[in-house]
Amino acid sequence: MTRLRAVGRRTWLLAVLAIVFFAVGVPRWLAGDGGSASGDALFAKVCRDHGGRLTTRRISGGLPPVERHCVVRYGADEYVMDAVTPLGWEQDGAQLQREGCEDAARKQASTARGKSRITFVYHSDTGVCERRR
């Protein structure tokens, strides 16, 4: 009788694991989202999807560590897209850029009083605050 219960528990556990695997694991694997994409590949994809291009710069010290950035050009200037991370698009980072842009525009408007022609424009597709002269 105890042997029958032990087999029943194992069968139940195996059935639950199979359901979870087929409900979650197989669809992700078929969709190509099996976790095999590295942070570099995701970073590059998100960067391109938001209209940016990748740049790299070797960090002083010479060893393989490289600093990656996703940049976008507005006018003559290039801007780093802070919302693009190795984990994907960071909505909080984009929101902080938006708030900073709005704050800079308010400060500029209150202090310039027509003297300066600098304006700040937030681009939601890139998460960048452009400074226009």
The tokens of 53 are what? 């291009």
Tell whether 71 and 7 lie within a shared domain.
no
Tell whether 48 and 24 lie within a shared domain.
no
**What is the arithmetic mean of pLDDT over 75-89?**
92
pLDDT score, position 31? 53
**121, 97 Cβ separation under 8 angstroms:** no
Specify burial of residue 70 (Cβ count, 10 A radius: 0-12, 13-18, 19+): buried
**What is the arithmetic mean of pLDDT over 18-35?**
58
Cα-Cα end-to-end distance for the chain: 84
pLDDT of residue 36 exceeding 50, the answer is: no
Question: What predicted TM-score, i.e. pTM, was given to this entire model?
Answer: 0.62
Identity (one letter) of the amino acid at 35?
A: G
Tell whether 29 and 48 lie within a shared domain.
no
**Average model confidence (pLDDT) across the chain:** 81
Residues of the domain holding 46? 39-132
Tell whether 15 and 71 lie within a shared domain.
no
pLDDT score, position 34? 45
